[in-house]
Amino acid sequence: MSGEKISATTQTETSALIKTYDGEGKNVILAMTGTSGAIYGLRILRALLINEFNVDLILSEYASYTMYKECGVDLKPNVIQTLFPEILIMKSTVTFHNNLDLKSDIFTNNFNCYGMIVAPCSMGILAGIANGECKTLMEKSADYAMSYSKPLIIVPRETPVNRIHLSNMINIIESGGKIVPAMPSFEYSPKDFNDLADHISGRVLDILGMNFNPPA
């Protein structure tokens, strides 16, 4: 994989990495921070759309920059179908939200959140979530998910970790959240970076799926 260009659009065989779930009609919040590892967020977005979840997407102030720098992707509503051409018929929706919008529709009575994923998650956002700061839409949404016992899955990407990072992760776990570090397995002979990211995507959906219909 040396010198290989990371691409969100390369089509790979992911049936063994991502199981099938019935996501129709279920709203999942996906938050992407600006830390390195944008491909994890992109492939999780793809996995959610393949399983027909409705995705409420929150991008941090630097997420778009990192996504373009690492993956060459300028993520906007009108490019979703181009990014993932293997999704022939879009049966789910992607709604973009401003990370500074603390009056978002996410918190209205008409919105039913079935779970939230933060991937990739910076240690700064992780700290905000762990300490209930609620200064951004990401932090407030995560606080909401934990308050109402909805699945909250954090995919931290930064390394090495220190005692403060680990303490924040423990706070999240003790509050009902799940930590899925971006540590892909190599035992299935991945062909490229997409396969590595899809392995993590599969683990995330497995945790999310525990609260939905069992895998087919």
Q: What is the pLDDT of residue 126?
A: 98
Residue 59 dihedral angles phi and psi, to the nearest 5°: -110, 130
pLDDT value of residue 124: 97
Environment class of residue 59 by beta-carbon count within 10 Å: exposed (0-12), middle (13-18) or buried (19+)?
buried
The 10s digit of each residue's pLDDT in 152-162 is 999 999 999 99
**Could you give the CA distance from residue 71 to residue 5 in angstroms, rounded to a whole number?**
8
Is the pLDDT at 8 greater than 80? The verdict is: no
H-type alpha helices, the chain: 38-50, 63-71, 80-83, 123-130, 137-147, 163-174, 193-209
**Cα–Cα distance, 184 to 204 (Å, whole number):** 12
Q: Give yes or no for residue 2 having a pLDDT over 50.
A: no
Q: Which 8-state DSSP code applies to residue 50?
A: H
Assess whether pLDDT exceeds 60 at residue 135.
Answer: yes
pLDDT band at 92, cuts 50/70/90?
confident
With 60 as the cut, is the pLDDT of residue 90 above it? yes
Residue 9 has pLDDT above 90, yes or no: no
pLDDT band at 98 (very low <50, low <70, confident <90, very high): very high
For 62-88, what is the mean pLDDT?
A: 91
**Percentage of the residues of the chain whose pLDDT score is greater than 70:** 89
Q: How confident is the model at residue 16 (pLDDT cuts 50, 70, 90)?
A: low
Q: Which of 8-22, 109-123, 175-189 has the weakest average pLDDT?
A: 8-22
Which domains are assigned to the chain?
27-209 (3.40.50.1950)
Q: What is the CA radius of gyration of the chain?
A: 16
In this predicted structure, the answer to whether residue 66 has a pLDDT above a threshold of 80 is: yes
Residue 208 in this model has a pLDDT that exceeds 60: yes
Give the Cα separation of 1 and 19 in Å (integer).
25
Pairwise CA distance, residues 167 & 179, whole Å: 12
pLDDT value of residue 7: 53
